[in-house]
Amino acid sequence: MKTIRLLISCPDARGIIAAVTSFVAEHGGNVLDADQHSDKQHGEFFMRVEIDPAGFTLNPSNFESAWRPLADHYRMQWRVAWGDRPKRMAIFVSKAGHCLNDLLWRWKTGELAVDIPCVISNHDALRRDVESLGLTFHQLTITPANKRQQESETQQRLADAEIDFVVLARYMQILSPDFVAAMPNRIINIHHSFLPAFAGAKPYHQAYDRGVKIIGATSHYVTDQLDEGPIIAQETMQVNHRDTVDDLVRKGRDLERIVLARAVRHHVEDKILVSNNKTVVFD
């Protein structure tokens, strides 16, 4: 069922929930789901409301003018997803295909309700996996000499395809600050460790050398601070002294698939609000 999703963040105050639900009712709407959170430390309030579009008298052309007085009164930051079309997702990938193929499988089976206009890679290794599903594969080889030009080409392809957000499915390139700034909280990465531990190269080798008892994976929004963006989802798995590096890599890949898919689904379903480099995820 397609629903209208209203997301709100503002200073915490009395009466916000009543005001929002009354507004929906006054305009013929029915609240199908509502969730909220108060951050006592920062004095912030967060809310997600799903509205049945049947009977709701507001639409994208007149919602803002009706909503603005209430939003201004409570000093809200807000956005509405009207559910009129699936979000358009681009996937960036390098050579490792486990996260890419997991997302493609979830899309193919209908578990992930998105359109995938294109997959972009700096290598050709996964072309067949993508094109066998009738999807568009762009190879844009990146070198230090052509990185700026290739990023510009990539941005143009994203604009032409009307991409809503990007998923880095083990894309082994660092995006420039300008590229990231053009898509704030719309680029999702999977990091092959439980951040902030074991950041950087070969995290499973680091974990093995330290004799860890758990490994993990972290999905987060990309910022210009490497691997320090707002965390969306994390998961851990117990390991022991019998596990080799190869065992850790294999188990880690399982975690990466699950955690990235969870983060993408939260984003697609408009369940994430970001504040102070942290996320509120309504699950």
Query: Domain map of the chain by residue range?
Result: 4-81, 87-281
Mean pLDDT of the chain: 93
Query: Residue 199: pLDDT band by 50, 70, 90 thresholds?
Result: low
Confidence of residue 198 (pLDDT cuts 50, 70, 90): low
Q: Residue 123 and residue 110: Cα distance in Å, rounded?
A: 27
Lay out the sheet containing 214-221: strands in order across: 137-139, 114-121, 87-93, 165-168, 187-191, 214-221, 231-238
Please tell me the CATH code under which domain 4-81 is placed.
3.30.70.260
Share of the chain above pLDDT 90, in %: 82
d(Cα 112, Cα 134) in Å, to the nearest integer?
17
pLDDT recorded at residue 259: 97
- pLDDT for res 215: 84
pLDDT of residue 200: 66
Q: What pLDDT shows up at residue 261?
A: 98
Average pLDDT over residues 20-25: 98
Residue 233: exposure state from Cβ atoms within 10 A (0-12, 13-18, ≥19): buried
pLDDT band at 197 (very low <50, low <70, confident <90, very high): low
pLDDT tier at 228, thresholds 50, 70, 90: confident
Is pTM beyond 0.75 here?
yes
- 227 among known catalytic residues: yes
Q: What is the pLDDT of residue 270?
A: 98
CA-nearest of 86, 102, 43, 24 to 263 is 102
Mean pLDDT, rounded, for 91-110: 97
d(CA 68, CA 62): 10
Say which of 39, 227, 247, 254 is annotated catalytic: 227
- Provide CATH code, domain 87-281: 3.40.50.170
For residue 224, give every residue at least 6 positions away whose Cβ sits within 8 Å of its Cβ, in sequence order, or none: 177, 180, 181
Residue 264 banded pLDDT, cuts 50, 70, 90: very high
**Residue 195: predicted pLDDT:** 54
